[in-house]
Structure 1
Amino acid sequence: MKNFRFVLFLVLLATTSLEINAQTCKPSGGIRGRKPPPGECNRENNSDCCVQGKFYTTYTCSPPVTGDTKATLTINSFQKGGDGGGPSECDNQYHSDDTPVVALSTGWYKGGDRCHKYITINGNGRSVKAMVVDECDSTMGCDGDHDYQPPCPNNIVDASKAVWKALGVSEDNWGDLDITWSE
C-alpha cells in the first residue's frame, strides 16, 4: 500500500510539472540588431528602431490565453505609410487609425487563426472590441520587412489609435498600458 501511494504521488507530481511546463513560454532564440539605413525606421508613435549589435529575444509562443489574458497594449498605425510597415497580414490591406484593429504577438496570432475575429480589450476602467488584422512578429525583426524595428515581445496587443481613444487614455499616455483581453 505504501508503494502504491508513493507511485501515485510521483505520477501526480510529474503530471503537475508537465502541466506547468506546458503553460510557460520560453524564448526561442534571438537576433542581433542591425543599424537601419537612413530614413528606413519609421519613428511614428515613438516606435523603437533596432540598435546595432543589441541582442533582441525572440519567441514562437505567447502566454496561455485565459478568460482575461494579461497583456501590454502598445500603439501602432495600420495606415499606409504608418509605423506598422506593410499591409496587414490577415488581408494584405491597410486600415484606418480610426478603426479599432489590433496585431497580436506571434503566439496569440496563431498563424492567422484569429484573423478577422474580435477580441475584447479591458483597460483604464473601460473595454472595447477590436478586430485582429495583423501579427506583431515575435520571431523576427531589425530588417526591412519589419521596418527596422525589434521583434515584438510575446505579450503584446498592438492597437490602433481608435482602441486607445475608446479606452479613454489621454494621448500623452499612449504607448504602453497593462490590459487584459479575451475572445
Structure 2
Amino acid sequence: MAKNVFLFSVLLLAVVLSRDFLEIEGELYTIYTRSPPVSSPTNELLTLNIFHEGGDGGGPSECDNEYRSDDNLVVALSTGWFNHESRCNKSITISANGHNVVAMVVDECDSTMGCDSDHGYRPPCRNNIVDASRAVWEPLGVPGNNRGWSDA
C-alpha cells in the first residue's frame, strides 16, 4: 500500500511539474494557460514585437498566417488572453501615459511553449503580455508605468 501511495505521489508530482514548468537545456520556465481577468484597464507588460517575416516573433501571425509591417497597429496576447483565438482580429485599446491606441489582435504570445524555431527561440511568455508592434508603442510615449488595456 505504501509503495502504491509513493508511486502515485511521484506520478502526480511529475504531472504537476510537467504542466507548470518547461525545461529546456537545464533552464526551467514557468508556463501559463490562464491570464489575469480582463478589467478596464487590465495591467500588463507591454513588450515590443516585430511582426514582419524574419522578425523576432517566429512565424506568421496565428490568426491569419500573415506577416505585418511595423507600421501596423497589431498585438499578440498571452495564451490566456488570446483564449484559443477568440480575440483574433478583434480590437483592444492600449493605454499608457494618458494616451490610448486601438490595435488589432493578430497573434498569440505563447505562454505554454517556447525556445524553438516556431517561437523565435524565445522563452514562453508570461501570462500578462501584450506584445505590440512599434506603431503601437510610438503614440503611447512608452516607456511608462501607467499602462493597461481593455476590450475595445
Task: Please tell me the TM-score bracket, short chain as reference.
Answer: 0.7 to 0.9
Deviation per residue, 1:24-58 (Å, 9 max, x gap): xxxx511112xxxxxxxxxxxxxxxxxx3111000
**Aligned residue among 106, 118, 130 for 2:91:** 118
Mind listing any 5+ residue stretches in structure 2 that lack a counterpart? 1-18
- Look up the match of 1:62: 35
Query: Out of 113, 116, 130, which is 1:143 matched to?
Result: 116
Q: Tell me the residue number matched to 2:149.
A: 181
Cα distance in 2 for residues equivalent to 1:166 and 1:90: 25
Structure 2 residue corresponding to 1:90, chosen from 48, 55, 63:
63
Q: Which consecutive unaligned segments of at least 5 residues does structure 1 have?
A: 1-27, 34-51
CA distance in 2, matches of 1:135, 1:147: 13
Q: Which amino acid aligns with 1:138?
A: S
Q: Aligned partners of 2:39, 2:126: CA distance in 1, in Å?
A: 18
Task: Provide the C-alpha distance between the structure 1 equivalents of 2:40 and 2:131, rounded to a whole number of angstroms.
Answer: 19
User: Is the 1:118–1:132 Cα contact (8 Å) retained in structure 2?
Assistant: yes
Residue identity opposite 2:32 in structure 1:
Y
Equivalent residue for 2:9?
Answer: none
Task: Answer yes or no: is 1:99 the counterpart of 2:72.
Answer: yes
Residue aligning to 1:130? 103
**1:160: Cα distance to partner?**
0.2
The two structures, once aligned, show a CA RMSD in angstroms of 1.4
Counterpart residue type for residue 126 of structure 2: P
**In the alignment, which of 136, 140, 151 is matched to residue 163 of structure 1?**
136
Q: Distance in 2 between matches of 1:146 and 1:85?
A: 5
Q: What corresponds to 1:30 in structure 2?
A: 21
Looking at CA atoms only, which structure, 1 or 2, has the larger radius of gyration?
A: 1
- Distance across 1 between alignment mates of 2:61 and 2:139: 21
Residues 74 and 177 of structure 1 are in contact (CA less than 8 Å); yes or no, is this contact kept in structure 2?
no
Contact in 2 for aligned 1:72/1:177 (Cα 8 Å): no
Deviation per residue, 1:127-180 (Å, 9 max, x gap): 1000000000001111121121100000000000000012123xxx5xx86621
- Tell me the distance in 2 between the aligned counterparts of 1:167 and 1:143: 31
Give identity over the alignment, percent: 62
Question: Following the alignment from structure 2 to structure 1, what is the Cα–Cα distance between the partners of residues 116 and 22?
Answer: 11
The match for 1:80 is 53
- 1:71 corresponds in structure 2 to 44
Deviations 1:80-99 (A, max 9, x none): 11101100000000011111
